[in-house]
Chains A and B, each alone.
Chain A
Amino acid sequence: MDLSSINPILLLASLMVAATPIMLAAIGELVVERSGVLNLGVEGMMITGAVCGFIVSVSTGSPWLGFIGAAIGGAMLASLFGFLTQYLLSNQVATGLALTLFGLGLSALMGQGYIGIKSPSFPDWHIPLLGDIPVIGPIVFQHDPMVYVGLLIVLAVWAFLKFSRAGLILRAVGENHDAAHALGYKVKRVRMLAIMFGGACAGLGGAYLSLVRVPQWTEGMTAGAGWIALAIVVFASWKPGRLLLGAYLFGGVTVLQLNLQAAGMAIPVEYLSMSPYLATIVVLVIMRAGRAPGSLGRIFHASR
């Protein structure tokens, strides 16, 4: 084994890139769950976003338009989930699982003619001045713009939940929907908006895979990232700060184990492949404190 073949600066730099898709999907799901809805369809919305983003950016030649298309695609699939669970009162767990399967199938169908094509990609965004700082520059400031957009979304969600009136109402709806209804808040409307936001974020996360990370379209390319995002939301105790930590931890161990594999570490590859999942769960379980939103996953009906 040759550990010297691992470049620590490149390793840390690829950590932020590896963490971005699950971070985007997880922050969307965090908002959904804080509003009291459990949407298990993250994987389906991610892959739909991945294919929508890919198609849009290939046909327009613009990765930015691709990401917008991905967000719209994810939000549309999510609003299907919202309509079924909020208005037709279907079971959230079953509907979410169905959404994942539906999204996987739908994306495979939509992506038929796009296999093997390369998408137009972002040039890495070398931030002037900051990007020139030795060591820190290449690690933090020389990525594509979506890495920073993702961080901004996490920051915005944190501020929204903590400081804004609308965020307070969203938390209230998730905490006790009967009380929120009794106070005259529109539980279904708040939840629909949260679900659509969650879908849009999952779509962005998926498009990050198909437009930046890989960058091409393959069926089932999310490969369980949506499930990791769901797990990170729970283990992060529904807090944006911890979610960021969890996503970076997962991204970090992922790139580390890839590097170790490349360096020829003398353990079976399967153990290395499972290590990001184990490490993320162990750390977040140890730090775990806090409880789920009170109305999480419960069906709301205004008859009472």
Chain B
Amino acid sequence: MSEILLALKGLTKAYPGVVANSDVSFDIERGEIHALLGENGAGKSTLVKTIYGLVKPDTGTMTLNGAAFTPAEPRAARIAGVAMVFQHFSLFDAMNVAENIALGMENPPPQREIATRVREVSEKYGLPLDPSRIVGELSAGERQRVEIIRCLLQDPKLLIMDEPTSVLTPQEVDILFETLRKLSAEGTAILYISHKLEEIRSLCDRATVLRLGAVVGDCIPRDTSARDMAELMVGAKLQVPTKAERAVGRGVLVLNGLSAPAPHQFGTPLRDINLRVRAGEVMGIGGVAGNGQDELVAALSGEMRTANGMVMLDEQPIGKLGPNARRKLGLSVAPEERNGHAAAGDMSLVENAVLTGAVRQGLTSRGFLRWGKARAFADQIIKDFDVRTPGAANTAGALSGGNLQKFVIGREILQAPDVLVVNQPTWGVDAAAAAAIRQALLDLAANGAAVIVISQDLDELMEISDQFAALNEGRLSEPRAANGLTVDEIGLMLGGAHDMEVAHVATS
């Protein structure tokens, strides 16, 4: 079991202005589950892209099974037995499962045979999947199964998984882990990338930690606490957000039987949502992606209009008002997609600050922009929320994901809204920035605002919310006090795993 499958030696890759990987060396053994840890921008993605043949290293060598391994393209890597499940799914929405799988294979057999093999493999590893379904209609968990089965059909020796659990329910995570353990017992090595340290502790045999492109340490995750691993990643002490005691006020935002048809072909209709969020309260809304989160956010922000009485702010019906009218009344929203929805990537941070701040901050007068005031507002966001950028004149698209997220959330919080709705506030954001954003949300609630946090990260919701409700196929469960909810109860609220079963192959 302890032979080395893949050895990396002195891998270095520099892009103009940054060194993505600097002298990275470590080994992956046959059949082990090896974790790769690091903050955003630590160079994990570049490293796995190097192994998968998408990036050529400047210097350094790789050895696979004792032979030199220099994949010129993903095809070569796949032939050598390296398969990869991507963080942002590399699937084609308008095509069916079998077509998607065929696209990821070398010399694929005819479609009918693929369908049979998909059924075999999904049976063997407990990943049920219908080969003729259109991928755009699948849930996130099912979409990931497509990716995994696509890899498994090629009998990989090394399976790379980039943040596989960020979109799964707890039950789906359990089943994924069962499958991965099974694979590892059969001799497949797995390189596992995740932010979620508890998962790594329960799953992985060894871990290598990257910081700023270099290996800063390794550890046995089972024997290391999550806190120690996090500090190794960040290189500093970690601050855990603190929940201050606070008085809960009256209902500020009330949803009365909010229903709306699906806005587009792959959308979810909202079905009779009732909710009362009170001042000073953080309402956490969980749920697997694609169960109505985007639609709920659109209905709250005013991008999607509903019957007037379905959305009430301070006992005033606002269901027919547009986003700016709602902002004026004190309801702010920070949507999930930060570049392109929450912010316009090609515009400067000052201009982006104006886009949502104009009404409440008085950044316009008689139809003209007040640039001085706008710049001061943008600078204040940058300063208060530690947005790392050379200046407010930089474009939003030039910021890293975490920094742009801090800017977007900060922009809304500084406008002191009475109700703030955020969707996936820390998605793809590193640990330190995530902690800062969560703290800011808690502080806003402590100052008497109602905060709705929609997220797929249950740990995050448990950390900051007072009340928890779950979205499932456009329906919202009855909210419950977040304190004392168990993982199983949450899983049931999320609607359980979707027709998943634990792998039942005999481990031979």
Contacts and interface: CB of A to CB of B under 8 A. Distances in A.
Interface string A275-292: 000000000000000010
Contacts of B108: 165
Nearest to B54: A182
Given A168-B102, A168-B103, A183-B104, A176 B93 contact: yes
Contacts of B74: 182-184
B103 A172 contact: yes
Interface stretch (B84-92, B243-251, B283-291, B403-411): B84-92
Interface string A291-304: 10110000000000
Interface string A162-192: 0001001101100110111011110000000
A298 to B, nearest CB: 12
B75 interface: yes
A175 B92 contact: yes
A291 B94 contact: yes
Nearest to B91: A179
B20 to A, nearest CB: 12
26 contacts: A165-B108, A168-B95, A168-B99, A168-B102, A168-B103, A171-B92, A172-B92, A172-B95, A175-B93, A176-B90, A176-B93, A178-B90, A179-B90, A179-B91, A179-B92, A180-B92, A180-B103, A182-B54, A183-B90, A183-B103, A184-B74, A184-B78, A291-B94, A291-B265, A294-B93, A294-B94
- For the complex, would chain A's binding face be called helix, strand, loop or mixed by DSSP majority? helix
Interface in B103-155: 103-104, 108
A176 B54 contact: no
A175 B103 CA distance: 12
Interface of A: 165, 168-169, 171-172, 175-176, 178-180, 182-185, 291, 293-294
B53 interface: yes
The size class of the interface chain B forms with chain A is 20 to 34
A175 B96 CA distance: 12
B73 A184 contact: yes
A184 B54 CA distance: 8
Given A168-B95, A171-B95, A294-B93, 13 more contacts: A168-B103, A171-B92, A171-B94, A172-B95, A172-B103, A175-B94, A176-B93, A179-B86, A179-B90, A180-B103, A182-B54, A184-B54, A184-B74
B107 to A, nearest CB: 9
Question: Which of B89, B93, B94 gathers most chain A CB within 10 Å?
Answer: B94
Nearest to B105: A183
Interface in B38-64: 53-54
A55 B74 CA distance: 47
B75 A184 contact: yes
B86 A182 contact: yes
A189 to B, nearest CB: 12
Nearest to A186: B73
Contacts of A185: 103
Contacts of A175: 92-95
A294 B94 CA distance: 8
A294 B265 CA distance: 13
B265 A182 contact: no
Contacts of A165: 102, 108
Contacts of B92: 171-172, 175-176, 179-180, 294
